[in-house]
Structures are given as structure tokens and as C-alpha cells.
């Protein structure tokens, strides 16, 4: 997906399967994917991914794997079995880890005939800025670090990355238009920034070339989540 066809991923940052399934039912397919992250997965385990997938909901399994290659390969295989459509890991885990993850996803597809999930590498968290990176020993400017990790992920066989909208254009220029970019750090013009440091509006992210927009609290925290999601789509279309 690119341009106006960018997918919207709703972050389901809740603590119970009941809440997650209720939100999925309320959205009733209006979101392109639902994101199961650390909070929900820690509370409920892989079963919630399976049940969402079995109900026809595409799931982005956002666990940001970062471990030795064999461990991450095993985790990616289990993520595939759970029915996740997108799985991510940290690019900073290195080339051997990313290559092992890519092989695991491909092997799952070849052995089962089931769809091969998109495996994407997290570049630099949107909560980090130049100062924060320097404190953990990264001396390169943020964009240079992001693009460098994106190129490494592509060369390791991954299909995309997770990055701030601010780096999308540079990633596409370096890695090609088919390389997917998932962008958190997206806040509708009518919402607050929260804990994000590098963010844009949905319309800006789409204009920059984002393939998927991750939006959480502005939708899930709204009194009417489907209406909030529709408002995001209207903002992207220029009708808000």
C-alpha cells in the first residue's frame, strides 16, 4: 500500500482479550490491521493473536524481538503460527538475527502453504530524539541512523521497517518504493502528541509515502472508536 491507499493499523493497547475482541467487534473490519503489543501479549499470550486472526482480523504482532538469531527465528516461527500478518524485530539485533528471522518466515510459508507474514525491522523508536540516541552511544544523526538500519534490513531479506514518518522519504529513496514502511508517531491534527517526539499527522505521513500508519489512543480512547477512525480517513482524504 502506498499514498492514499496506506493502511491504518489500530494499536490495541489494552490488558485483556475481552477488551481486544470487543474493540475488534466494534471496529468491525474498519481498520486494516490491529496491533497486538507488549501489554496485551504479556497479559494474554499468543492465544489472543490466534483468536483475533481466526475472527478475520489481520494482526500486527508488535513484540520487537531482539535476541540471538536462533531464539528470534523460533519466535518468528511461532508468530507465523499464531496467524500474525506482520511481525517485527529490532534492526539493532544485527544482520545474523535479521537473516534468521527472514529465513524462518519463508520456511514457514514453504512448509505450510500459509501466507508469509511481512517481517519488519524497528529502526529508531519514535520516542527517541538525537539527544537520547547520543546517550546510548549512537553518534549518527537520527535520519542517517534510520536509513542505515533500513538498508541493512533490506539486505538481510526483510520486507520493510518501522520508522517515524519523518524518515519515510529518505528510506524509500534508499531502499526502493516496494520496501514497506510502517509509521508509528502518527497523530491526527485534532489529538495530542502524547509521548511521541518525532510525529506527523496522518495526512502528512501519507504524503511522505508511509505504507501503514499506526494509530492508537486517538482511536481507542475515543468515545466512538469507529467514528474516530473514520475521522482519520477523512483527514487523510482532505475532508476533515
Show which residues are catalytic: 64
Give the separation between CA 193 and CA 71, rounded to whole angstroms.
35
- Compute how many other C-beta atoms are within 10 angstroms of the C-beta atom of residue 39: 13
Say how far apart CA 83 and CA 231 lie, in whole Å: 29
Residue identified by cell 549518527 is 140
Sign of CA dihedral 5, 40, 79, 88: positive
Amino acid at each position: 500500500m502506498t499514498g492514499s491507499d496506506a493502511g491504518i493499523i489500530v494499536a490495541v493497547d489494552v490488558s485483556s482479550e475481552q477488551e481486544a475482541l470487543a474493540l475488534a467487534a466494534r471496529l468491525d473490519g474498519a481498520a486494516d490491521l490491529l496491533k497486538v503489543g507488549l501489554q496485551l501479549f504479556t497479559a494474554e499470550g499468543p492465544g489472543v493473536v490466534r483468536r483475533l486472526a481466526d475472527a478475520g482480523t489481520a494482526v500486527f504482532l508488535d513484540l520487537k524481538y531482539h535476541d540471538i538469531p536462533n531464539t528470534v527465528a523460533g519466535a518468528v516461527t511461532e508468530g507465523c503460527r499464531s496467524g500474525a500478518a506482520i511481525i517485527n524485530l529490532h534492526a539493532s539485533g544485527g544482520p545474523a538475527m535479521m537473516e534468521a528471522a527472514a529465513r524462518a518466515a519463508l520456511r514457514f510459508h514453504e512448509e505450510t502453504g500459509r501466507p508469509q507474514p511481512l517481517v519488519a525491522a524497528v529502526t529508531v523508536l519514535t520516542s527517541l530524539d538525537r539527544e537520547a540516541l547520543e546517550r546510548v552511544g549512537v553518534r549518527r544523526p537520527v535520519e542517517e541512523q534510520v536509513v542505515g538500519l533500513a538498508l541493512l534490513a533490506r539486505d538481510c531479506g526483510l520486507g520493510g521497517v518501522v520508522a517515524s514518518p519523518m524518515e519515510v522519504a529518505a528510506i524509500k529513496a534508499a531502499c526502493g518504493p516496494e520496501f514497506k514502511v510502517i509509521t508509528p508517531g502518527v497523530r491526527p491534527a485534532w489529538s495530542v502528541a502524547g509521548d511521541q517526539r518525532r510525529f506527523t499527522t496522518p495526512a502528512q505521513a501519507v504524503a511522505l509515502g508511509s505504507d501503514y500508519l499506526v494509530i492508537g489512543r486517538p482511536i481507542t480512547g475515543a468515545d466512538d472508536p469507529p467514528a474516530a477512525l473514520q475521522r482519520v480517513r477523512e483527514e487523510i482524504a482532505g475532508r476533515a
